[in-house]
Amino acid sequence: MSRLLPFICKRTLRPKRLIQVLTPNVCMLPNSTKFSTKSPKNIYLVDDTDNENHGPQRNSNIYTYRTYTCTELRRENVGERVTLCGWLEFQRMNKFLVIRDGYGHTQLLIKDQDVETQLLVKTLPYESVIKVTGTVLTRPEGMINKNQETGEVEVLIETFEVLNKANDNLPFNIREYQKAKEALRMKFRYIDLRFEGMQRNMRVRSDLLMAMRTYLVNECNFVDVETPTLFKATPGGAQEFIVPTRFPGQFYSLVQSPQQFKQMLMAGAIDRYFQIARCYRDEGSRSDRQPEFTQLDIEMSFTDCKGVMNLVEELLQYSWPSILKPLPRRFPQITYKEAMEKYGTDKPDLRFHFHLQNCTVACKKLATTDNFAAYYILFEEPHVHLSTSIKQKLKRLSQNYPKAKFIQSKITNWKDWFLRMSGVFGEESCDILRQLIHAKGNSVLFLAYGDWKHVVSLLGTCRLEYVEHVEAQGIKVKDDSFHPVWVTDFPLFEEGENANGLQSNHHPFTAPHPEDVGLLQTEPLKARSLAYDLVLNGNEIAGGSIRIHDSRQQKFIFDLLNIDDQKMTYMLEMLASGCPPHGGIALGLDRLLATMLNTPSIRDVIAFPKTFEGRDPITGAPSPINEHDKKLYSIDISNKSS
Amino acid sequence: MSRLLPFICKRTLRPKRLIQVLTPNVCMLPNSTKFSTKSPKNIYLVDDTDNENHGPQRNSNIYTYRTYTCTELRRENVGERVTLCGWLEFQRMNKFLVIRDGYGHTQLLIKDQDVETQLLVKTLPYESVIKVTGTVLTRPEGMINKNQETGEVEVLIETFEVLNKANDNLPFNIREYQKAKEALRMKFRYIDLRFEGMQRNMRVRSDLLMAMRTYLVNECNFVDVETPTLFKATPGGAQEFIVPTRFPGQFYSLVQSPQQFKQMLMAGAIDRYFQIARCYRDEGSRSDRQPEFTQLDIEMSFTDCKGVMNLVEELLQYSWPSILKPLPRRFPQITYKEAMEKYGTDKPDLRFHFHLQNCTVACKKLATTDNFAAYYILFEEPHVHLSTSIKQKLKRLSQNYPKAKFIQSKITNWKDWFLRMSGVFGEESCDILRQLIHAKGNSVLFLAYGDWKHVVSLLGTCRLEYVEHVEAQGIKVKDDSFHPVWVTDFPLFEEGENANGLQSNHHPFTAPHPEDVGLLQTEPLKARSLAYDLVLNGNEIAGGSIRIHDSRQQKFIFDLLNIDDQKMTYMLEMLASGCPPHGGIALGLDRLLATMLNTPSIRDVIAFPKTFEGRDPITGAPSPINEHDKKLYSIDISNKSS
């Protein structure tokens, strides 16, 4: 096992002035490229730096009765009397043992004459917890293991103590990571956490959070404020969990984000706020979502879009683990409109090209509405793999976009294809199309036309699915680096079900774009907002906006959205009490970590995740309540099901 | 307003080796003794150090459109063109303005010829948010304000912009702190937070948490792990909030502490865990409790009581703000038994003496049970103030201890008093009592006899109440310093209502004292545990224990407590999977901060507290739910009230 620690953010220890903060890779996790075979490796840097000179080391042993962790002993320790504690991972010939802890492994040696320990070890189940005192020896020349941190030494046992015997037949073996299915790993998470990969995920998570806090507090003077999670239901919010109280019929809601509290903090002169906040959302069963999740929540007064975006870029630069490939110096920006046009999504994955191409001009004869558009994506050799199965899958997916007509073709003879297409588009259109598409050889082409939003969204899905398919054929398409991108200029509203046909695209506190304030009265769906999302490799990892600070404008927006002012009086009063202009952002830390560490699921970066159904796999929670609770909270269970 | 920032923990910036960590007062909050008049001052150090050389300053202005906060300008800035943003706090003669932000104040000057701004300011309500650009000038000699950080300079306004006009007639004025009642302050918390005292509380809180994290992560290699708050109900736990789910009749519980999760982390080889964790407890209306609260939760493997206690002492030394009087180098320890004997409570307030004195030997003739005991406390001049009102109050309080007889006397003539007492105790007993009590002059004596626990508890209450009363007469009794003390050797169980008449004193995972394991079978109520509490100035601020790591012992304890093993199988399996010996502690941060800052209530150190009834004062939450939620969560509101 590699030495996972110290994953010390240098800057935490030796802060420099802000001007230097932008240097990438300030966090050091030395030698950590040697992760377990299952770990995806391509995001890690290969040329890792030496780990001996990174300033003061963290002391992992103070306050315990061990003298070293199982990863710390080196040739320099030879002759020292040491105490190690950990799990018995392996034994050979009742003589050579491997002790493991969360940091690494050390080889132990039982003396030939120590028959008692030999007998003890013979029947001691693996994963029993032991405490060993002994002397550090150099391993014989042929036995040195260059791949192990402690591979040059072993410990000759003097005293051997079993601290806690493990059961035989644990549900899975720590040496066979690959063999445990996720359901079993989740049920016995306390065993699963012993694996190197999970240790890395938990420790990287902790260090990332610490580095973020260090930047925000020590460099930028942000104030960490804890806000309540038991709150009032937000009108027009997504599904919130409710919590009954001893007041009959009255409930708290669990907050979806500290949005309103952080805005109140701005009015309260805590002008640089952050919090690593627990948030709650009841979305029922949705893959790779959790009912509770963590976000880095940030808000600033007297700032603008650029201020918040710069902060987030520099924060990520500062806290980015050095074992990972670096982030670009500055993150590109793209408008919502442009992202939809080029990538068919507001979460563009910039690890590969294959943009959508506009061919509306060629198909305009088919136009029936103002929104009509036609787009295509072209794949040429070596990306030509349109099998029946992927074709069927894409056809199925296209049914989610009923206002778009979808054509997918594997083309070997372009002349034939244009001939066929002239039946659909007419000859004139086909001529224009021919001029637009320059391909000659074998190609795969996806083309869609109809309602603009359906067309681009369908081709955006197509783009992702087809590239996955091509990569599954062993053809590398995606770049291994990190590709962050800001998406800006979102529409303020989208079509909704209220009387005005509107709903917030982000939330009702988002400020409209100053250039589009005039549109709010006339064509609100065309008004842009001052919202921005940060997308990393196709995952939305942060979203924020400049907020409304004018009480009258906020009231106007509530009215447009049919939100009852009476329920939001406190927000309007807050804005009118002397509230500075302000804006902020929230980073989804679970998603960010999963993207950083390239894990298959966000569950891999959460210590105790729920299943996709929302169940706790260890205890089976949720569970029925007793009569006492029903009485205390004045609730009955009804049979009406939703 | 004093300059609250930077409250930089030096050690965060320039870490030293652990050997140096024990030096007290490593955090600097310069010049912060000049708090608002309302703040209790006696805990603060008067001789504050100079704030200019504390290493790199935090940059409060990056990412904003101001160039300085309202506390930063000095004589060195004269001639500089600056931009300030903040609240209009005051104006005089339409010419001199005071701008305020969360950091301090600056004086602004309108040019004589700038009639436009003069007119604007004339009608601009105080608390409007403004942005000012201008040039820094030296104040005329007679106008220098030595009590203000920025008192040597003023800013001559060039451009003046109203960013957000405040309403006239806000509920209270920021210059009249004393006049707002708490209910009003809570309802308009976003205004209340602008006060200097609240700014200090929030910023000290943030910095304390950061310093604690820095010690744990950067010095001691602890791992910050977020554990779930949506969990399963704990058998035998205190009242937990419940959360309905989409599975009809099935509920999560909101965790009271991460206890079980942190023990699983120990089994999972995260051997040094901490978390600043949100916890929940539904205790109905109880003064100075909150339905959600924050604790610093810590757990370690391979440790013992001493290890955990040393960690907490050094953690507090490290993170203790330097503006406060220092903590002692090491904290004294007292056993539960000794605390009860001397102070009549397991939360002894060591800021003053007046111990309980045992006089059982003098009263043993009155003994009816084995538990019989007699104790007294004596107060001599100048602490002799037994008025009728305090006498009545103590009499009322004594009714909570029905198994104790209570005598309270103001004694001017001891001879008479002993004569009177001989009627109660008999002459022989009075002779012994006379030998025990050495007082001669005017005294106040409280004496109680009967059941030991009732007797000492009654006198413990008496001790606190009477000293409060004496201090209210203007006689100083309590020392102004901080007096932490560890209370150890708690009983493992106390009398309870289950079949065995037992309940856990701490929680069912607490390890029994190794010397008392034999008593578990025979006299469980006499068995001590490996639990320890940290008490500061009479407030319990932390509690922890070494936990049971042996699955069979844990099962035995569950059985004694009538806890259904079936519901706790996962914990027993966890212990049997190879779980190291471990122990930990939880520090109540709200209580700690309130004690540190000597605030009247924990509400003063929480940004958005609930009322004592558990209501959110801003929104009025909790509130009724709609039919959609009732249907979604399969609940009806019943009329059965608890």
Exposure string over B160-172, b if 16+ CB within 10 A, otherwise e? beebbbbeeebeb
pLDDT, residue A8, reads 34
Specify if B555 maps to a domain: yes
Sort strands B105-109 and B96-100 into parallel, antiparallel or unpaired: antiparallel
pLDDT, residue B291, reads 96
One domain for residues A492 and A580: yes
CA distance B171 to B187: 10
pLDDT, residue A285, reads 65
What number is the ipTM of this complex? 0.92
A576 min Cα distance to partner chain B (Å) = 5
Question: What's at A437, amino acid-wise?
Answer: I
pLDDT, residue A30, reads 33
Mean pLDDT of B434-439: 87
List, as ranges, residues 228-287 from B with C-beta within 8 Å of A.
Answer: 228-233, 239, 241-254, 261, 264-265, 267-272, 278, 280, 282, 284
Specify if A219 maps to a domain: yes
A370-403 pLDDT per residue, tens = 899 999 999 999 999 999 999 999 999 999 999 9
- From B478, B506, B528, give the residue that closes a domain: B478
Within an 8 Å CB–CB cutoff, is residue A619 touching chain B? yes
DSSP annotation string for B143-185: G--TTSTTTTEEEEEEEEEEEEPPPSS-SS-TT-GGGS-HHHH
pLDDT, residue A257, reads 95
Residues in A touching B208 (Cβ below 8 Å): none
Mean pLDDT of B461-479: 96
Q: Do A264 and B60 touch (CB under 8 A)?
A: no
Residues in B touching A13 (Cβ below 8 Å): 15, 218
Sort strands B502-504 and B493-495 into parallel, antiparallel or unpaired: antiparallel
CA distance B508 to B519: 17
One domain for residues A471 and A490: no
Check: CB of residue A390 under 8 Å from CB of residue A449.
no
B43 min Cα distance to partner chain A (Å) = 23
Q: What are phi and psi of A225, to 5 degrees?
A: -120, 130
CA distance A573 to B127: 13
Within an 8 Å CB–CB cutoff, is residue A576 touching chain B? yes
One domain for residues A212 and A309: yes
Residues in A touching B225 (Cβ below 8 Å): 202, 205-206, 607
A474-491 pLDDT per residue, tens = 999 999 999 999 999 999
Q: Do A302 and B219 touch (CB under 8 A)?
A: no
Question: What's at B350, amino acid-wise?
Answer: L
One domain for residues B207 and B327: yes
DSSP annotation string for A438-472: ---SSEEEEEEEEEHHHHHHHHHHHHHHHHHHHHH
- From A431, A462, A478, give the residue that closes a domain: A478
One domain for residues A498 and A585: yes
Residues in A touching B244 (Cβ below 8 Å): 241-242, 244, 635
Q: Please write down the long-range contacts of B246-249, taking CB distance under 8 Å and 24 or more positions apart.
A: B246/A282, B246/A284, B246/A614, B246/A642, B246/B632, B246/B633, B247/A622, B248/A637, B248/A638, B248/A639, B248/A641, B248/B634, B249/A624, B249/A625, B249/A637, B249/B634
Model confidence at B589: pLDDT above 70: yes
Residues in B touching A614 (Cβ below 8 Å): 245-246
One domain for residues B471 and B494: no
Question: How many distinct structural domains can be found in chain B?
Answer: 3
Specify if A243 maps to a domain: yes
B632: closest chain A residue by CA: A642
B235-254 pLDDT per residue, tens = 665 689 999 999 999 999 99
One domain for residues B298 and B413: no
CA distance A20 to A314: 10
Specify if B342 maps to a domain: no
Q: How confident is the model at residue A42 (pLDDT cuts 50, 70, 90)?
A: low
Q: Do B217 and A308 touch (CB under 8 A)?
A: no
Model confidence at A17: pLDDT above 60: no
**CATH code, domain carrying B102:** 2.40.50.140
Check: CB of residue A372 under 8 Å from CB of residue A449.
yes
Contacts of B35 (CB under 8 A, 6+ apart): B2, B41, B44, B196, B197, B200
Q: How confident is the model at residue B255 (pLDDT cuts 50, 70, 90)?
A: very high
One domain for residues A128 and A154: yes
Specify if B635 maps to a domain: no
Domain span at residue A542 reads: 201-331+486-605
B273 min Cα distance to partner chain A (Å) = 10
Q: What are phi and psi of B510, to 5 degrees?
A: -70, 135
Specify if A193 maps to a domain: no
Name which of A164, A619, A633 is nearest B242 (Cβ-Cβ): A633
pLDDT, residue B236, reads 61
List, as ranges, residues 489-518 from A with C-beta within 8 Å of B.
Answer: none
Q: Check residues B619 and B57 and name the one with the higher pLDDT.
A: B619
**CATH code, domain carrying A283:** 3.30.930.10
Check: CB of residue A486 under 8 Å from CB of residue A530.
no
pLDDT, residue A546, reads 98
CA distance A485 to A112: 63
pLDDT, residue A234, reads 77
B589: closest chain A residue by CA: A226
Within an 8 Å CB–CB cutoff, is residue A119 touching chain B? no
Nearest to B280 by CA among B245, B235, B230, B244: B230
Nearest to B228 by CA among B214, B217, B209, B243: B243
pLDDT, residue B379, reads 96
CA distance B641 to B622: 17
Residues in B touching A637 (Cβ below 8 Å): 248-249, 634-636
Nearest to A220 by CA among A295, A308, A304, A306: A308
List, as ranges, residues 372-411 from B with C-beta within 8 Å of A.
Answer: none
Lowest mean pLDDT among A160-169, A173-182, A194-203, A612-621: A173-182
A589-628 pLDDT per residue, tens = 999 999 999 999 999 999 999 999 999 999 999 999 999 8
Residues in A touching B629 (Cβ below 8 Å): 242, 251
B439-456 pLDDT per residue, tens = 888 999 999 999 999 999
Give me chain B's average pLDDT, please: 89
One domain for residues B212 and B152: no
Residues in B touching A291 (Cβ below 8 Å): 230
List, as ranges, residues 436-465 from A with C-beta within 8 Å of B.
Answer: none
Residue for token pair 């013979």: A122
Residues in B touching A6 (Cβ below 8 Å): 221
Identify the residue among B84, B206, B283, B564 best suited for mutation to test binding to A, counting A beta carbons within 10 A and taking the highest: B206
**CATH code, domain carrying A458:** 3.30.1360.30
One domain for residues B387 and B491: no
Specify if B196 maps to a domain: no
One domain for residues B469 and B494: no
Check: CB of residue A23 under 8 Å from CB of residue A317.
yes
B275-326 pLDDT per residue, tens = 999 999 998 766 678 999 999 999 999 999 999 999 999 999 999 998 899 9
CA distance B290 to B594: 13
A83-118 pLDDT per residue, tens = 999 999 999 999 999 999 999 999 999 999 999 999
A416-453 pLDDT per residue, tens = 998 888 888 888 888 899 889 988 889 999 999 999 99
pLDDT, residue A46, reads 44
Specify if B185 maps to a domain: no
pLDDT, residue A619, reads 94
Contacts of B511 (CB under 8 A, 6+ apart): B529, B530, B545, B546, B547, B548, B549, B553, B583
One domain for residues B271 and B359: no
Check: CB of residue A221 under 8 Å from CB of residue A272.
yes
Model confidence at B184: pLDDT above 60: yes
Q: How confident is the model at residue B2 (pLDDT cuts 50, 70, 90)?
A: very low
Which segments of B281-403 are extended strands (E)? Answer: 292-301, 333-335, 357-358, 372-380
Contacts of A528 (CB under 8 A, 6+ apart): A336, A489, A490, A491, A492, A512, A513, A515, A516
Mean pLDDT of B91-117: 96
